[in-house]
Amino acid sequence: MDAATELSKFLEQRSVGQLVLDAVDYAICNGIVMRTRSKPTSSDVVQHAPFTLLPSPVPKNLYEQAISVQKDFNFLMHAISQDPEFMKSAFSTIIHSDDFTRRLFEIYETALLEKPKKTAMAIIRSDYMFNKTDESEPSLKQIEVNMIASSFGGIGTEKTRSLHDYTLRHAGFEDVATSLPQNKALQNLAQSIVNAWDLYGDNSAVIVFVITDIENNIFDQRALEFRICEIQPDIVVKRYTLTQISELGDHDDDGNMVINDQKVGFVYYRAGYSPDHYPSEKEWDARLLLETSTAINCPCVAHQLVGAKKMQQILSQPNMVERFIKDRNSVKRIRDTFVGFYGLEMGSTGDESIQKVLQHPENYVLKPQLEGGGNNLYNDEMVAKLKEVGEDDRRCSYIVMEKYVRCQCSLSSYGPKQATTNQLL
Protein backbone atom coordinates (compact mmCIF):
# COMPACT_ATOMS: atom_id res chain seq x y z
CA MET A 1 0.00 0.00 0.00
CA ASP A 2 1.50 3.37 -1.03
CA ALA A 3 1.69 6.41 1.24
CA ALA A 4 -1.25 8.20 -0.38
CA THR A 5 -3.51 5.18 0.12
CA GLU A 6 -2.40 4.79 3.74
CA LEU A 7 -3.13 8.45 4.48
CA SER A 8 -6.55 8.18 2.84
CA LYS A 9 -7.32 5.10 4.91
CA PHE A 10 -6.25 6.95 8.05
CA LEU A 11 -8.63 9.80 7.31
CA GLU A 12 -11.49 7.35 6.75
CA GLN A 13 -10.96 5.24 9.85
CA ARG A 14 -10.02 7.77 12.51
CA SER A 15 -11.34 11.06 13.77
CA VAL A 16 -9.09 13.87 12.61
CA GLY A 17 -10.70 16.56 14.75
CA GLN A 18 -7.92 16.64 17.33
CA LEU A 19 -5.25 16.57 14.65
CA VAL A 20 -6.87 19.61 13.04
CA LEU A 21 -6.89 21.50 16.35
CA ASP A 22 -3.27 20.59 16.99
CA ALA A 23 -2.27 21.65 13.48
CA VAL A 24 -3.98 25.02 13.82
CA ASP A 25 -2.14 25.68 17.08
CA TYR A 26 1.11 24.60 15.46
CA ALA A 27 0.51 26.99 12.55
CA ILE A 28 -0.17 29.93 14.85
CA CYS A 29 2.78 29.14 17.10
CA ASN A 30 5.12 29.00 14.12
CA GLY A 31 3.96 32.08 12.26
CA ILE A 32 1.82 30.53 9.52
CA VAL A 33 -0.66 33.35 9.99
CA MET A 34 -2.48 36.17 8.24
CA ARG A 35 -4.41 39.22 9.32
CA THR A 36 -8.16 38.80 9.60
CA ARG A 37 -10.67 40.16 7.10
CA SER A 38 -12.43 42.06 9.86
CA LYS A 39 -9.18 43.84 10.87
CA PRO A 40 -7.00 43.79 7.75
CA THR A 41 -4.79 46.67 8.91
CA SER A 42 -4.07 45.35 12.41
CA SER A 43 -1.82 42.59 13.72
CA ASP A 44 -3.54 42.55 17.12
CA VAL A 45 -5.76 39.68 15.98
CA VAL A 46 -4.56 37.07 13.50
CA GLN A 47 -5.74 33.81 12.00
CA HIS A 48 -3.89 30.85 10.60
CA ALA A 49 -3.21 30.94 6.88
CA PRO A 50 -5.04 28.33 4.80
CA PHE A 51 -3.13 25.04 4.72
CA THR A 52 -3.69 21.38 3.93
CA LEU A 53 -3.74 19.14 6.98
CA LEU A 54 -1.45 16.65 5.25
CA PRO A 55 0.90 17.20 2.29
CA SER A 56 -0.34 16.45 -1.20
CA PRO A 57 1.35 13.45 -2.82
CA VAL A 58 3.63 14.57 -5.64
CA PRO A 59 5.23 12.17 -8.11
CA LYS A 60 8.95 12.37 -7.47
CA ASN A 61 9.83 12.59 -11.16
CA LEU A 62 7.53 15.61 -11.64
CA TYR A 63 8.91 17.31 -8.56
CA GLU A 64 12.44 16.86 -9.86
CA GLN A 65 11.33 18.03 -13.31
CA ALA A 66 9.95 21.28 -11.85
CA ILE A 67 13.24 21.93 -10.09
CA SER A 68 15.41 21.11 -13.10
CA VAL A 69 13.48 23.36 -15.50
CA GLN A 70 13.37 26.39 -13.22
CA LYS A 71 16.82 27.67 -14.11
CA ASP A 72 15.91 27.33 -17.78
CA PHE A 73 12.86 29.54 -17.24
CA ASN A 74 14.91 32.05 -15.25
CA PHE A 75 17.32 32.56 -18.14
CA LEU A 76 14.52 32.57 -20.70
CA MET A 77 12.45 35.27 -19.00
CA HIS A 78 15.48 37.45 -18.38
CA ALA A 79 16.70 37.07 -21.96
CA ILE A 80 13.29 38.16 -23.30
CA SER A 81 13.34 41.26 -21.09
CA GLN A 82 16.62 42.31 -22.74
CA ASP A 83 15.24 42.23 -26.30
CA PRO A 84 13.44 45.56 -26.91
CA GLU A 85 12.35 44.70 -30.44
CA PHE A 86 10.77 41.44 -29.35
CA MET A 87 9.08 43.16 -26.41
CA LYS A 88 7.64 45.84 -28.68
CA SER A 89 6.33 43.24 -31.10
CA ALA A 90 4.87 41.06 -28.35
CA PHE A 91 2.90 43.90 -26.79
CA SER A 92 1.98 45.77 -29.96
CA THR A 93 -1.67 44.67 -29.93
CA ILE A 94 -2.16 44.70 -26.16
CA ILE A 95 -1.08 48.28 -25.51
CA HIS A 96 -3.90 49.54 -27.74
CA SER A 97 -6.57 47.68 -25.80
CA ASP A 98 -5.20 47.36 -22.26
CA ASP A 99 -4.49 50.67 -20.52
CA PHE A 100 -2.66 49.08 -17.56
CA THR A 101 -0.21 47.20 -19.78
CA ARG A 102 0.24 50.32 -21.90
CA ARG A 103 1.28 52.39 -18.87
CA LEU A 104 3.78 49.74 -17.79
CA PHE A 105 5.18 49.57 -21.30
CA GLU A 106 5.58 53.35 -21.45
CA ILE A 107 7.65 53.19 -18.25
CA TYR A 108 9.67 50.36 -19.78
CA GLU A 109 10.48 52.44 -22.86
CA THR A 110 11.35 55.52 -20.80
CA ALA A 111 13.64 53.54 -18.53
CA LEU A 112 15.25 51.89 -21.54
CA LEU A 113 16.27 55.29 -22.87
CA GLU A 114 17.45 56.67 -19.53
CA LYS A 115 19.04 53.61 -17.90
CA PRO A 116 19.72 51.01 -20.62
CA LYS A 117 22.25 49.02 -18.56
CA LYS A 118 20.61 49.20 -15.17
CA THR A 119 20.94 46.17 -12.89
CA ALA A 120 17.74 44.43 -11.84
CA MET A 121 16.77 41.32 -9.93
CA ALA A 122 13.95 38.84 -10.46
CA ILE A 123 12.27 36.51 -8.01
CA ILE A 124 10.55 34.06 -10.32
CA ARG A 125 7.92 31.54 -9.28
CA SER A 126 6.45 29.02 -11.69
CA ASP A 127 3.09 27.43 -10.94
CA TYR A 128 2.25 23.98 -12.27
CA MET A 129 -0.54 21.44 -12.31
CA PHE A 130 -0.36 17.74 -13.04
CA ASN A 131 -2.30 16.54 -16.03
CA LYS A 132 -3.42 12.93 -16.31
CA THR A 133 -5.60 11.17 -18.83
CA ASP A 134 -6.72 7.56 -18.85
CA GLU A 135 -4.05 6.78 -21.43
CA SER A 136 -1.05 8.56 -19.93
CA GLU A 137 1.06 9.00 -16.85
CA PRO A 138 0.79 12.34 -14.99
CA SER A 139 2.67 15.17 -16.68
CA LEU A 140 3.86 18.55 -15.46
CA LYS A 141 2.08 21.52 -17.05
CA GLN A 142 2.91 25.14 -16.38
CA ILE A 143 0.01 27.39 -15.48
CA GLU A 144 1.87 30.68 -15.24
CA VAL A 145 5.14 32.39 -14.40
CA ASN A 146 4.97 34.95 -11.59
CA MET A 147 7.44 37.80 -12.03
CA ILE A 148 6.19 40.27 -9.41
CA ALA A 149 5.14 39.91 -5.77
CA SER A 150 5.67 36.14 -5.86
CA SER A 151 4.23 35.35 -2.47
CA PHE A 152 4.37 32.67 0.23
CA GLY A 153 8.13 32.31 0.13
CA GLY A 154 7.96 33.48 3.75
CA ILE A 155 5.27 31.36 5.43
CA GLY A 156 4.53 28.81 2.73
CA THR A 157 7.89 27.10 2.37
CA GLU A 158 10.01 25.82 5.26
CA LYS A 159 7.32 26.64 7.83
CA THR A 160 4.61 24.67 6.06
CA ARG A 161 7.05 21.84 5.47
CA SER A 162 7.65 21.78 9.23
CA LEU A 163 3.89 21.77 9.86
CA HIS A 164 3.39 18.77 7.59
CA ASP A 165 6.28 16.98 9.25
CA TYR A 166 4.46 17.48 12.55
CA THR A 167 1.03 16.33 11.36
CA LEU A 168 2.43 13.25 9.62
CA ARG A 169 4.36 12.16 12.68
CA HIS A 170 1.43 12.98 14.94
CA ALA A 171 -0.76 10.76 12.77
CA GLY A 172 1.73 7.90 12.96
CA PHE A 173 3.34 8.25 9.53
CA GLU A 174 6.97 8.87 10.47
CA ASP A 175 8.18 7.01 7.38
CA VAL A 176 6.25 9.39 5.13
CA ALA A 177 7.53 12.42 7.05
CA THR A 178 11.12 11.44 6.32
CA SER A 179 10.41 11.73 2.58
CA LEU A 180 9.34 15.38 2.75
CA PRO A 181 11.82 17.45 0.71
CA GLN A 182 13.60 20.36 2.31
CA ASN A 183 12.39 23.79 1.25
CA LYS A 184 14.90 26.60 1.64
CA ALA A 185 13.11 29.21 -0.47
CA LEU A 186 12.89 31.76 2.36
CA GLN A 187 16.60 31.58 3.11
CA ASN A 188 17.55 31.67 -0.56
CA LEU A 189 15.27 34.59 -1.37
CA ALA A 190 16.55 36.61 1.59
CA GLN A 191 20.18 35.85 0.73
CA SER A 192 19.61 36.89 -2.88
CA ILE A 193 18.18 40.23 -1.79
CA VAL A 194 21.17 40.76 0.50
CA ASN A 195 23.48 39.94 -2.41
CA ALA A 196 21.70 42.50 -4.59
CA TRP A 197 21.94 45.11 -1.83
CA ASP A 198 25.68 44.38 -1.60
CA LEU A 199 25.92 44.80 -5.37
CA TYR A 200 24.46 48.30 -5.07
CA GLY A 201 27.61 49.21 -3.17
CA ASP A 202 26.42 51.60 -0.46
CA ASN A 203 26.05 50.25 3.07
CA SER A 204 24.03 53.31 4.09
CA ALA A 205 21.32 52.61 1.50
CA VAL A 206 18.03 51.13 2.69
CA ILE A 207 15.88 48.38 1.22
CA VAL A 208 12.29 49.41 0.40
CA PHE A 209 9.33 47.05 0.32
CA VAL A 210 6.60 48.54 -1.87
CA ILE A 211 3.28 47.60 -0.29
CA THR A 212 -0.44 48.39 -0.34
CA ASP A 213 -2.44 50.14 2.36
CA ILE A 214 -4.06 46.84 3.35
CA GLU A 215 -1.84 43.76 3.64
CA ASN A 216 -3.66 40.68 4.87
CA ASN A 217 -0.61 38.61 3.99
CA ILE A 218 1.82 40.89 5.82
CA PHE A 219 3.53 38.11 7.78
CA ASP A 220 4.73 36.44 4.61
CA GLN A 221 6.43 39.74 3.77
CA ARG A 222 7.77 40.29 7.28
CA ALA A 223 9.24 36.79 7.42
CA LEU A 224 11.36 37.70 4.40
CA GLU A 225 12.23 41.08 5.89
CA PHE A 226 13.30 39.60 9.20
CA ARG A 227 15.39 36.89 7.53
CA ILE A 228 17.17 39.60 5.52
CA CYS A 229 18.02 41.38 8.76
CA GLU A 230 19.22 38.14 10.34
CA ILE A 231 21.63 37.58 7.46
CA GLN A 232 22.83 41.19 7.41
CA PRO A 233 21.94 43.11 10.61
CA ASP A 234 23.19 46.41 9.15
CA ILE A 235 20.41 46.47 6.57
CA VAL A 236 17.48 48.79 7.24
CA VAL A 237 14.16 47.80 5.59
CA LYS A 238 11.46 50.42 5.05
CA ARG A 239 7.87 49.82 3.93
CA TYR A 240 6.13 52.38 1.71
CA THR A 241 3.11 52.52 -0.58
CA LEU A 242 3.47 53.97 -4.04
CA THR A 243 1.45 56.94 -2.83
CA GLN A 244 3.91 57.59 -0.01
CA ILE A 245 6.86 57.24 -2.36
CA SER A 246 5.37 59.85 -4.69
CA GLU A 247 5.03 62.25 -1.75
CA LEU A 248 8.30 61.53 0.06
CA GLY A 249 10.68 60.45 -2.68
CA ASP A 250 12.71 61.94 -5.51
CA HIS A 251 16.01 61.59 -7.36
CA ASP A 252 19.13 63.35 -6.13
CA ASP A 253 21.58 64.96 -8.55
CA ASP A 254 23.21 61.60 -9.27
CA GLY A 255 19.95 59.82 -10.05
CA ASN A 256 19.79 57.97 -6.74
CA MET A 257 16.37 57.30 -5.26
CA VAL A 258 15.94 59.13 -1.98
CA ILE A 259 12.92 58.68 0.31
CA ASN A 260 12.70 60.62 3.56
CA ASP A 261 16.34 61.66 3.14
CA GLN A 262 17.47 58.01 2.89
CA LYS A 263 19.12 56.64 -0.22
CA VAL A 264 17.40 53.52 -1.57
CA GLY A 265 19.60 50.68 -2.80
CA PHE A 266 17.05 47.96 -3.45
CA VAL A 267 13.29 47.99 -4.14
CA TYR A 268 11.15 44.88 -3.61
CA TYR A 269 7.61 45.07 -5.00
CA ARG A 270 4.77 43.41 -3.14
CA ALA A 271 2.44 45.86 -4.90
CA GLY A 272 2.26 47.39 -8.36
CA TYR A 273 0.85 44.41 -10.23
CA SER A 274 -2.79 45.55 -10.29
CA PRO A 275 -4.54 48.65 -11.70
CA ASP A 276 -6.00 49.13 -8.22
CA HIS A 277 -2.49 49.97 -6.97
CA TYR A 278 -2.41 53.06 -9.21
CA PRO A 279 -5.50 55.09 -8.24
CA SER A 280 -3.98 58.34 -9.51
CA GLU A 281 -1.08 59.73 -11.52
CA LYS A 282 0.94 60.01 -8.31
CA GLU A 283 1.43 56.25 -8.14
CA TRP A 284 2.50 56.04 -11.77
CA ASP A 285 4.96 58.87 -11.15
CA ALA A 286 6.37 56.92 -8.19
CA ARG A 287 6.83 53.79 -10.28
CA LEU A 288 8.68 55.80 -12.93
CA LEU A 289 10.90 57.41 -10.29
CA LEU A 290 11.87 54.02 -8.89
CA GLU A 291 12.42 52.48 -12.30
CA THR A 292 14.67 55.29 -13.58
CA SER A 293 16.71 55.64 -10.39
CA THR A 294 19.95 53.81 -9.57
CA ALA A 295 18.10 51.54 -7.12
CA ILE A 296 17.95 47.84 -8.03
CA ASN A 297 14.30 46.97 -8.70
CA CYS A 298 12.79 43.56 -8.04
CA PRO A 299 11.24 43.28 -10.50
CA CYS A 300 12.18 45.92 -13.00
CA VAL A 301 9.25 46.76 -15.22
CA ALA A 302 10.75 44.71 -18.07
CA HIS A 303 10.72 41.60 -15.87
CA GLN A 304 7.15 42.35 -14.83
CA LEU A 305 6.04 42.65 -18.44
CA VAL A 306 7.53 39.31 -19.51
CA GLY A 307 5.34 37.67 -16.89
CA ALA A 308 2.23 38.73 -18.83
CA LYS A 309 -0.09 35.98 -20.01
CA LYS A 310 0.47 37.14 -23.58
CA MET A 311 4.10 36.15 -23.31
CA GLN A 312 3.11 32.58 -22.40
CA GLN A 313 0.98 32.38 -25.53
CA ILE A 314 3.73 33.77 -27.75
CA LEU A 315 6.42 31.48 -26.36
CA SER A 316 4.26 28.43 -27.04
CA GLN A 317 4.51 29.18 -30.78
CA PRO A 318 7.15 27.43 -32.94
CA ASN A 319 10.73 28.78 -32.76
CA MET A 320 9.97 31.41 -30.12
CA VAL A 321 11.78 29.75 -27.20
CA GLU A 322 14.58 28.86 -29.60
CA ARG A 323 15.13 32.55 -30.32
CA PHE A 324 16.46 32.98 -26.76
CA ILE A 325 17.66 29.51 -25.71
CA LYS A 326 20.07 27.66 -27.98
CA ASP A 327 20.64 24.55 -25.90
CA ARG A 328 18.33 21.84 -27.22
CA ASN A 329 17.98 20.08 -23.88
CA SER A 330 16.99 23.32 -22.19
CA VAL A 331 14.42 24.05 -24.91
CA LYS A 332 12.95 20.57 -24.52
CA ARG A 333 12.69 20.91 -20.75
CA ILE A 334 10.81 24.18 -21.19
CA ARG A 335 8.50 23.02 -23.96
CA ASP A 336 7.63 19.80 -22.14
CA THR A 337 5.74 21.92 -19.59
CA PHE A 338 3.72 23.96 -22.09
CA VAL A 339 -0.03 23.69 -22.58
CA GLY A 340 -2.10 24.95 -25.50
CA PHE A 341 -2.44 28.74 -25.83
CA TYR A 342 -4.41 30.82 -28.31
CA GLY A 343 -4.18 34.52 -29.11
CA LEU A 344 -7.26 36.60 -29.85
CA GLU A 345 -5.78 39.18 -32.23
CA MET A 346 -8.10 40.72 -34.77
CA GLY A 347 -8.34 38.59 -37.90
CA SER A 348 -9.21 35.08 -38.99
CA THR A 349 -6.86 33.31 -36.55
CA GLY A 350 -8.36 35.11 -33.58
CA ASP A 351 -11.87 34.48 -34.91
CA GLU A 352 -11.15 30.77 -35.14
CA SER A 353 -9.85 30.70 -31.57
CA ILE A 354 -13.03 32.35 -30.29
CA GLN A 355 -15.25 29.93 -32.16
CA LYS A 356 -13.28 26.98 -30.81
CA VAL A 357 -13.76 28.22 -27.26
CA LEU A 358 -17.46 28.99 -27.69
CA GLN A 359 -18.08 25.46 -28.99
CA HIS A 360 -16.37 23.78 -25.99
CA PRO A 361 -15.98 26.34 -23.19
CA GLU A 362 -15.44 23.60 -20.60
CA ASN A 363 -12.00 22.96 -22.12
CA TYR A 364 -10.61 26.49 -21.82
CA VAL A 365 -9.90 29.40 -19.50
CA LEU A 366 -9.81 33.08 -20.50
CA LYS A 367 -6.97 35.12 -18.99
CA PRO A 368 -6.41 38.90 -18.94
CA GLN A 369 -2.96 40.48 -18.56
CA LEU A 370 -3.22 40.74 -14.77
CA GLU A 371 -1.53 39.20 -11.72
CA GLY A 372 -2.72 38.58 -8.21
CA GLY A 373 -5.32 35.85 -8.73
CA GLY A 374 -9.07 35.97 -9.22
CA ASN A 375 -8.95 37.45 -12.72
CA ASN A 376 -9.49 34.37 -14.87
CA LEU A 377 -12.86 33.60 -16.45
CA TYR A 378 -14.42 30.17 -16.90
CA ASN A 379 -17.51 28.63 -18.49
CA ASP A 380 -20.51 30.99 -18.65
CA GLU A 381 -18.48 34.03 -17.53
CA MET A 382 -15.91 33.34 -20.22
CA VAL A 383 -18.57 32.92 -22.89
CA ALA A 384 -20.25 36.17 -21.85
CA LYS A 385 -16.95 38.07 -21.94
CA LEU A 386 -16.04 36.72 -25.39
CA LYS A 387 -19.44 37.71 -26.73
CA GLU A 388 -18.93 41.18 -25.25
CA VAL A 389 -15.43 41.85 -26.61
CA GLY A 390 -15.21 39.35 -29.47
CA GLU A 391 -15.96 41.84 -32.24
CA ASP A 392 -13.47 44.58 -31.33
CA ASP A 393 -9.85 44.97 -30.29
CA ARG A 394 -10.61 44.65 -26.58
CA ARG A 395 -10.28 40.93 -27.12
CA CYS A 396 -6.56 41.42 -27.86
CA SER A 397 -5.88 41.97 -24.16
CA TYR A 398 -6.91 38.37 -23.39
CA ILE A 399 -5.43 34.98 -24.17
CA VAL A 400 -7.05 31.55 -24.04
CA MET A 401 -5.41 28.60 -22.33
CA GLU A 402 -6.39 24.95 -22.49
CA LYS A 403 -7.88 23.83 -19.20
CA TYR A 404 -6.82 20.41 -18.05
CA VAL A 405 -9.88 19.42 -16.09
CA ARG A 406 -8.22 16.29 -14.75
CA CYS A 407 -5.36 18.03 -13.00
CA GLN A 408 -4.91 16.34 -9.65
CA CYS A 409 -2.52 18.55 -7.74
CA SER A 410 -0.51 21.74 -8.03
CA LEU A 411 3.09 22.69 -7.45
CA SER A 412 5.01 25.94 -7.28
CA SER A 413 8.73 26.26 -7.83
CA TYR A 414 10.93 29.21 -6.92
CA GLY A 415 14.01 29.85 -8.99
CA PRO A 416 17.23 28.80 -7.23
CA LYS A 417 19.00 31.84 -8.65
CA GLN A 418 17.88 35.35 -9.42
CA ALA A 419 18.97 36.90 -12.71
CA THR A 420 20.32 40.43 -12.96
CA THR A 421 21.18 42.49 -15.99
CA ASN A 422 24.89 42.50 -15.29
CA GLN A 423 25.49 39.21 -13.52
CA LEU A 424 23.83 36.28 -11.79
CA LEU A 425 23.40 36.44 -8.02
> Is 131 annotated in some ligand binding site?
no
Question: Cβ atoms within 10 A of the Cβ of 398, count?
Answer: 27
Q: Which helix (H) or strand (E) holds 382?
A: helix 379-389
Q: Provide the Cα torsion 242, 244, 245, 246; round to 10°.
A: 90
> Is 418 annotated in some ligand binding site?
no
Q: DSSP letters of 30-95?
A: TT-EEE-SSSTT-SSSEEEPP--SSPPP--HHHHHHHHHHHHHHHHHHHHHHT-HHHHHHHTTTGG
Burial letters 332-358, b for 16+ CB under 10 A, else e? ebbeebebebbbbbeeeebeebbeebe
> Is 369 annotated in some ligand binding site?
yes
Residue of 186, 172, 147 whose CA lies nearest to 310:
147
> Is 128 annotated in some ligand binding site?
no
The SS3 assignment for 414 reads strand
> Is 372 annotated in some ligand binding site?
yes
> Is 156 annotated in some ligand binding site?
no
> Is 109 annotated in some ligand binding site?
no
> Is 378 annotated in some ligand binding site?
yes
> Is 375 annotated in some ligand binding site?
yes
> Is 309 annotated in some ligand binding site?
yes
> Is 374 annotated in some ligand binding site?
yes
> Is 221 annotated in some ligand binding site?
yes
> Is 423 annotated in some ligand binding site?
no
Residues at the binding site are 125, 144, 146, 221, 309, 367-376, 378
Residues at the binding site for substrate are 125, 221
Residues at the binding site for ATP are 144, 309, 367-376, 378
Residues at the binding site for Mg(2+) are 144, 146, 371
